[in-house]
Homo-oligomer: A and B are copies of this chain.
């Protein structure tokens, strides 16, 4: 290694940021393995992203990942192995000192490449740091690796983390539909599923994957991109009840009325306000279940898939885990070849058979706006998705990595202190 011959070290550092996913650690594994293979000396992991980095919290990953088996276990571990943060870096002119501090730490650690796995804010961090490095003549390379279950990043065909969340949602929806059918006999029941995605309906649409040869799938799907009309909704449900006893409805947590209010604001009940003055709103599905119960008088229930949408590694998609690994590795390769200020993306090379490849985009081209479901991928009535949506999403949930089961439960790789 470089150190032994007195040469300058080639070190690299990687961090994770934003809401975790089931596969963000597979990207970390991809970074680690590729950095090893390309001969980097020390591979650092920043703890809790740039926020921990500023406190000089980092680990030498070789103290954490010892074997190929550890890499496989890391791929099967949900949430951010290194810890995550939600931290928006100031503009350079607003806080030059923080930039000086970051580069001082980078120089001390002899870092050549800085890889950041995260969402829109993380790509913004990559942009600012690479700009600063160029302007100030620092040699470090800055590369971004996308992740988000919400699939709302531009330029990439889809985001790592989305496929696994979609697979968990679709599998759970199939199981819940079976449960509801088993109980429906001479009496109606309605189940309302609440799915993550405040503004983008990609995950809510994924419930339609539950429609398979032995399952009818959900009956109605409401995305946040479409204004929610509660009267129309009630009509739809009443119409369906003439045909079937058990009705399944998927709604995004972020559906809104035409006056801009979230549906979950309609409850009118006791709104708890936390210490920061934030309203703790009741759930959308829970409100709609109460509404239908009162209007129609049948048995209703609401189910929030909640945090498990982003943490259920035990039902992760093999395609997703492999792609997350691929984009992690591609970022290291790009940095090693001299790229900076870029984000790795997933390009869809072919639909059938499905094939994808890593692409590289200038991080300046990534506008900070969310990519929403196109209107033409929702039906005319605005209460279901189209086949184009299904064709797009279906390849992303294929295949599995079997969890490593120890004493009956999935084992994870966790940070040794």
Chain A residues in the interface with B (C-beta under 8 A): 16, 19-20, 47-48, 51-52, 77-81, 83-85, 167, 170-172, 174-176, 178-179, 181-186, 191, 209-210, 212-215, 267-270, 272-276, 280, 282, 286, 289-290, 293-294, 296-298, 300-301, 303-304, 306-308, 310-315, 317, 394, 397-400, 402, 405-414
B215, B270, B306: which contacts A303 (Cβ < 8 A)?
B306
6 pairs, A vs B, C-beta closer than 8 Å: A175-B313, A272-B293, A280-B290, A314-B315, A398-B407, A400-B405
Q: State whether B412 touches A179 (Cβ < 8 A).
A: no
Q: How far is the CB of A230 from chain B (nearest CB, A)?
A: 15
Q: State whether B306 touches A178 (Cβ < 8 A).
A: no
Chain B residues near A214: list those with CB within 8 A: 411-414
Closest to A57 in B: B185
Given contacts A212-B406, A282-B282, A400-B405, 13 further A-B contacts (CB under 8 A): A16-B182, A19-B183, A52-B185, A79-B183, A175-B308, A175-B313, A176-B307, A178-B412, A215-B414, A268-B270, A274-B290, A275-B297, A280-B293
Chain B residues near A174: list those with CB within 8 A: 409-410, 412
Q: State whether A294 touches B272 (Cβ < 8 A).
A: yes
Q: How far is the CB of A276 from chain B (nearest CB, A)?
A: 7
Q: State whether A179 touches B310 (Cβ < 8 A).
A: yes
A174 to B402, CA, bound (A): 16
Chain B residues near A297: list those with CB within 8 A: 274-276
Q: How far is the CB of A143 from chain B (nearest CB, A)?
A: 22
Q: State whether A294 touches B270 (Cβ < 8 A).
A: no
Q: How far is the CB of A273 from chain B (nearest CB, A)?
A: 8
Chain B residues near A19: list those with CB within 8 A: 183
Chain B residues near A48: list those with CB within 8 A: 185
Chain B residues near A170: list those with CB within 8 A: 408-409
Chain B residues near A397: list those with CB within 8 A: 408-409
6 closest A-B pairs by beta carbon, nearest first, are A275-B297, A269-B270, A269-B269, A272-B290, A79-B182, A48-B185
A48 to B182, CA, bound (A): 8
A13 to B288, CA, bound (A): 40
Chain B residues near A402: list those with CB within 8 A: 402
Chain B residues near A276: list those with CB within 8 A: 297
Q: State whether B306 touches A78 (Cβ < 8 A).
A: no
